[in-house]
Amino acid sequence: MLRRARGAYAQVHGRAAPFYGVAAAVAVAVPLLVGAVTGRPAQGSMIALGAYLVALRAPEQGPYGARARNLTVGVLIVAVGAGVGGLLSGHLWPAVIVVPPLVALGVAVPRIGSTAGLAVLLSAVRPPSADVLNIGLLELMGGLLTAVLLLAPWPARRLRPLREALSESADAVAEALDAVAQDVGAHDAGPLDAVELTNPDLLAVTRIPDWEAKRRAASESLTAARATYGLYRSGRAGNEPTRPERLIDALGRVLHETVTLQAVLEAAKNYPPDREWQMETQTAISALAARLRLLAGAIATAGEAPLGREESAAVRRMGRAAEQIRRAGLAGDEDLVAVALIGQVRRSIDRIAGEVASTRRLVAGGLRLRFAAPRMPGTLDPMPVWDRIRRAVRTRSPTFRQVSRVYVVAVVSMALTAALEIPHGHWMTITAMLSLRATYGETVDRLVQRVGGTAAGAAVAAVILTLAPGQPTVAVIAFCFAGAGFAMRPVNFSYWALFGTPLAMMLLDFSAPADWRIAGERIGLTLAGALTAYLAVLLLWPAGHRERLPGQLERLLRTHAGLVRTTADVLSGEQVRLPHDTIVSAERAAESVAEARTRIGHERVPDLELMDRLRRAAAAAHRARDHLIAVAKMSREQAVDTGPIPEILDRLADQLEEAAGVLEEPGARGPDAGAPVEELGAELAELDSYLATLTRRRRAEIKEGVGPDELTPLRHALLQVSGTRYTIRELRRDVNQVIESSLEAAEPRR
């Protein structure tokens, strides 16, 4: 438990948000100060409470248009919730009926969140008032104050979130390029891996970056950039893509070309290395990564950082080295397969350089978006929503189970408060409903953070409120705690519990400041709420992630089978390129399995063997997808005969679909289940023979007088097949790993 506590307090989830903290602090403290000076502390605390509730849900990141829509929803929810809470004030049992459904609704609908439940609950615990409408209007004023302060920089910083997302994407793609560069001609890393290093600076220079991790990070960063751009109301004319869209697409092409480059370099390792060629290749790739980093800096600073040159001397030197090897191959001094692979490497580097130059021109032109009229998201059709609810209830999805748990916890804690007439019992309800998470591990971490922070914060609040000479001083202290709490909230929830506890006590008891007795009650009720949440996650129904695994694994297999067949169509000329949607669908299926593994790791007793199987399945799926992108990219030169490669891909797709059928209907494997595997073995052997035949025919073609630089179909075929052969074999290994791990993970376990 001590180790878990240390881990919970040491977690770092994000960066501090000083502007967010200052804006929220001003919105909370100014009404308190004005109310204290004018002799209306109760009204001032109501306005401050509205500001506090809206600031709690305010996103500290993302486009300002999306923030405005989110804050608008929050202000309306707070105003309505304050009015409803005012009607319930002094009526404990009606509050037990009304508040828990709102709390559960916030879990089911993220747009609502915990705001509705908190607004009603915190207004209901105030002394009864005849002017309910006035309560709602006062909290509405506080919410509007928070929204105005947080959106004040909108005109000057409108594009800043998009610039940050695009800059991070360029940096992530550059890191993927660096991972490829450092793997070129790398020595055996075994001796260094056996040495335990703790200095991060030494780790950075002695460990080769993990290509798969860097590639996934770059892909996730591009997905995040697309999502960020999608939140902007760009008001573009017609179907013409905007500059940010073109920039994201260009970075995506660089990443896919990097995937191809890495695959070809892996294949080239099977042939005698040429030291000079390897060093020139490594230098060229590193130079391209450095140019991308310059562009990332220029994007982040709106053009203030240098862009760098459009041409690269390192890329030209690599081209000359590749040309020397090609001429040696034509003279019979080098293996033609090795020459073809090095030619593929040169073409990939040239394409990456071209895309980087295109990206540079886009950045130099500036990122511009038209202003569009703000609009709210479209209204929800009640029928699809109802269908989703029925499906969630019927399948007992993890979301439905979490909603049910939170509802039960809110009902139990509020019923105990009403039955026993516990003073300040709302602290127990707030702790229980906000600490309960979807898994055991997440809930325990949140409880540890909340209990420790609340205990320290309540003690600090008691001291401050006892020594504070008057309400104006309390308002100034509230400003300090609000600024620190909201600024550090993205970093670790413990900071929020530490600074937010005194703030909440000041807001709710501003008219009659709290003392040591109330601080002790707060600590005791927080512990009671923590115990309630712990018992709920321990005793109520499980999260249900294991039950969904067969369906997730089936989707993983089917989406990758579809990607394999689409790649076969590209090679056979039926499609020009791999559709982006097909790649994204397969990637999301793999991420879904990885997320399920993470959730299972948060269980009270994690199944380590199952987690390892899911890890292997997701990792192999990521590698398989990279192989398919590389195969499709290498086949685009011309429509040539690629031999049995399309048939090999079809057999791999058959294997994936057959395994998916087994997951859908256990025992569905037919008597001819081994046929695709046997056919695949024969076709792989045929591919080796086909490559040997192409090599002999190409040498004969050159001897017959065909110019070595002439672009003949035979030359194109040799280039494509030689670059694809190694990747196809790696693809087969990873497909088998996906199938094997998926079937093992889906087996019923004791």
Mean pLDDT of all residues in the chain? 79
Question: What three-state secondary structure class fits 369?
Answer: coil
201 vs 599: which has the higher pLDDT:
599
Share of the chain above pLDDT 70, in %: 75
Range with top average pLDDT, 225-234, 247-256, 305-314, 572-581: 247-256
State residue 241's pLDDT score: 78
The answer on pLDDT for 621 being more than 90 is: yes
pLDDT at 494 over 70: yes
Checking if the pLDDT of 317 tops 80, the result is: yes
Average pLDDT of the segment spanning 63-87: 84
Q: Which pLDDT score is estimated for 714?
A: 60
Angle at 102 between CA 389 and CA 492, to 5 degrees: 100
Residue 308 has a pLDDT of 74
Question: What are the chain's domains?
Answer: 2-155+442-511 (no CATH), 160-184+212-233+242-365 (1.20.58.220), 549-745 (1.20.58.220)
Tell me which residue of 552, 659, 660 sits closest to 614, measured CA to CA: 552
Between CA 502 and CA 499 the distance in angstroms is 6
Q: Where are the alpha helices (DSSP H) in 313-335?
A: 313-330
**Token couple for 458:** 């309540």
pLDDT higher at 671 or 498:
498
Rounded Cα–Cα distance for residues 302 and 642 (Å): 46
The confidence score (pLDDT) of residue 37 equals 87
Per-residue pLDDT averaged across 325-347, rounded?
A: 72
Q: For 385-418, how does the pLDDT look when each residue is reduced to its tens digit (9 = 90+)?
A: 667 677 777 777 778 888 888 999 999 999 998 8
pLDDT value at 206 more than 60? no
Instruction: Give Cα separations from 660 to 560, 655, 672, 735 (angstroms).
Output: 10, 9, 16, 12
Instruction: Find, among 74, 84, 292, 79, the residue nearest to 180 by Cα.
Output: 292
Picking from 425, 404, 420, 415, the residue whose alpha carbon sits closest to that of residue 529 is 425
> In whole angstroms, what is the distance from residue 102 CA to residue 123 CA?
14
Question: Judging by beta carbons within 10 Å of its beta carbon (0-12, 13-18, 19+), is residue 226 exposed, middle or buried?
Answer: middle
Whether residue 363 has pLDDT greater than 60: yes
CA 732 to chain centre: 29
Return the percentage of the chain with pLDDT > 90, whole number: 16
Whole-number Cα distances in Å, 685 to 266, 494, 581, 678:
20, 60, 33, 11
pLDDT in tens, 156-196: 677 778 888 899 999 999 999 999 888 776 555 555 555 55
pLDDT digits 0-9 by tens, 128-166: 665 667 778 888 899 999 988 988 876 667 777 888 889
pLDDT of 247 strictly over 80? yes
User: What is the number of H-type helices and E-type strands within the chain?
Assistant: 29, 0
Give the whole-angstrom CA distance, residue 187 versus residue 189.
Answer: 6
Q: Write down the pLDDT at residue 505.
A: 74
**Mean per-residue pLDDT, 295-303:** 85
Q: What is the pLDDT of residue 123?
A: 82
